[in-house]
């Protein structure tokens, strides 16, 4: 089990600009909650002009609390996002978020996670009790409140959710996993069972998870500098460079080369 939150920027487009503009950090939950929660993420901002941030979503559910200066705190559940997520921050505000591990939200909600896919719903509509504020105070206090919230939701033991979480983690860590049928054979299960398991507990199918993690890896590599995109495409399991460019462009709105150029311009290089 990890003792520090992950430090990669996968999914965040132009992460350098984000870190220069707002205060963004990740924190781990209490140890008892780590089988379910990837990390908490905390964002504070005081902006003189709006900041538009784009994120390529992970195959994960998020619970998000946000408070704009002078306004009430709001809370919502965000299912796995199928498309590029864009948010514009302005003025002064705070957000406290819970990124669940893939499969990790099911033991709290106890319903098929696919019902949330592509949707954002107020916490008041999903039957999970919420009391107090979660954006106010120093980081340790905010995290303790999130710990208390999740503990009060009392996750129900779910071996299938744990299985789904472990399988998705293997897909994320092993770039050699490129085909669902090969992955199913590795574990001696049918592709149909794997599909049902992922839809019910993660919210999307295994093919989507594989493609999303490989695309996020391509996005992160683009930030490193000039690349041989034909080699990257082959390494990540795309049919050819054109296939990678099409998928990259369809999700992010720009080609890999254009994205790399935008990052260089953002850094002033």
Summarize pLDDT for 230-260 with one digit per residue, the tens: 888 888 888 889 999 999 999 998 888 888 8
45 pairs with which residues across the strands? 93
What pLDDT does 268 receive? 62
- CB of 197 within 8 A of CB of 142? no
- CB of 223 within 8 A of CB of 13? no
Band of pLDDT at residue 1, cut at 50, 70 and 90: low
pLDDT at 39 over 60: yes
Q: How far apart are the first and last CA of the chain?
A: 39
- CB of 77 within 8 A of CB of 123? yes
pLDDT at 168 over 80: yes
List the chain domain ranges: 15-153, 159-267
On the CB side of 121, how many CA atoms lie within 13 Å of its CA? 16
CATH of 15-153, one of 1.10.3470, 2.60.40, 1.10.357, 3.30.70: 2.60.40
Residue with tokens 């994205």: 259
Residues 6 or more apart from 238 whose CB is under 8 A from it?
Answer: 214, 244, 247
pLDDT at 51 over 70: yes
**Percent helix / strand / coil, the chain, rounded to 5:** 45, 20, 40
Token output for 196: 């049902």
Band of pLDDT at residue 226, cut at 50, 70 and 90: low
Band of pLDDT at residue 222, cut at 50, 70 and 90: confident
* 116 vs 100: CA distance, rounded Å: 13
Identify which of 45, 82, 84, 37 has the alpha carbon closest to the alpha carbon of residue 62: 37
String of DSSP letters for 25-45: EEE---GGGTTTEEEEEEEEE
- CB of 13 within 8 A of CB of 7? no
* 151 vs 245: CA distance, rounded Å: 43
Residue 66 is given by DSSP the state E
* 130 vs 128: CA distance, rounded Å: 7
What pLDDT does 31 receive? 97
What pLDDT does 124 receive? 87
pLDDT at 224 over 90: no
What pLDDT does 176 receive? 85
What's the mean pLDDT when you consider all of the chain?
92
Overall fold of domain 159-267: Arc Repressor Mutant, subunit A (1.10.10)
Geometric angle at alpha carbon 43, from 149 and 125, rounded to 5°: 40
Note the pLDDT tens digit of each residue in 99-154.
999 999 999 999 999 999 999 999 989 889 898 999 999 999 999 999 999 999 99
43 pairs with which residues across the strands? 24, 95
Note the pLDDT tens digit of each residue in 94-104.
999 999 999 99
Residues 6 or more apart from 115 whose CB is under 8 A from it?
Answer: 79
pLDDT at 26 over 80: yes
- CB of 150 within 8 A of CB of 107? no
pLDDT at 8 over 90: no
Sheet strands side by side (includes 23-27): 23-27, 37-46, 92-100, 62-68, 74-78, 120-122
- Listed in order, strand segments (DSSP E) in 6-89 are 23-27, 37-46, 51-55, 62-68, 74-78, 85-89
């Amino acid at each position: 089990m990890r003792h520090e939150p992950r430090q990669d920027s996968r999914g965040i487009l132009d992460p350098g600009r984000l870190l220069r503009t707002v205060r963004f950090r990740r924190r781990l939950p209490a140890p008892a909650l780590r089988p379910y929660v990837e990390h908490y993420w905390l964002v504070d901002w005081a902006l003189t002009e709006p900041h538009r941030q784009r994120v390529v979503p992970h195959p994960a559910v998020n619970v998000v609390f946000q408070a704009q200066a002078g306004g009430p705190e709001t809370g919502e559940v965000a299912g796995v996002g199928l498309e590029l997520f864009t948010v514009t921050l302005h003025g002064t505000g705070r957000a406290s978020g819970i990124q669940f591990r893939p499969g990790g939200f099911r033991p709290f909600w106890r319903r098929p996670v696919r019902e949330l896919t592509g949707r954002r719903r107020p916490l008041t509509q999903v039957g999970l009790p919420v009391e107090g504020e979660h954006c106010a105070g120093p980081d340790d206090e905010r995290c303790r409140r999130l710990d208390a919230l999740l503990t009060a939701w009392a996750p129900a033991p779910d071996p299938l959710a744990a299985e789904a979480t472990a399988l998705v983690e293997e897909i994320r860590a092993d770039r050699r996993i490129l085909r669902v049928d090969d992955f199913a054979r590795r574990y001696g299960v049918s592709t149909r069972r794997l599909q049902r398991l992922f839809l019910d507990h993660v919210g999307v199918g295994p093919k989507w998870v594989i493609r999303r993690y490989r695309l996020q890896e391509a996005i992160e590599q683009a930030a490193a500098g000039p690349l041989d995109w034909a080699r990257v495409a082959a390494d990540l399991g795309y049919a050819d460079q054109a296939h990678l460019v099409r998928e990259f462009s369809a999700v992010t709105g720009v080609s890999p080369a254009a994205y790399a150029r935008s990052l260089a311009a953002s850094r002033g290089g």
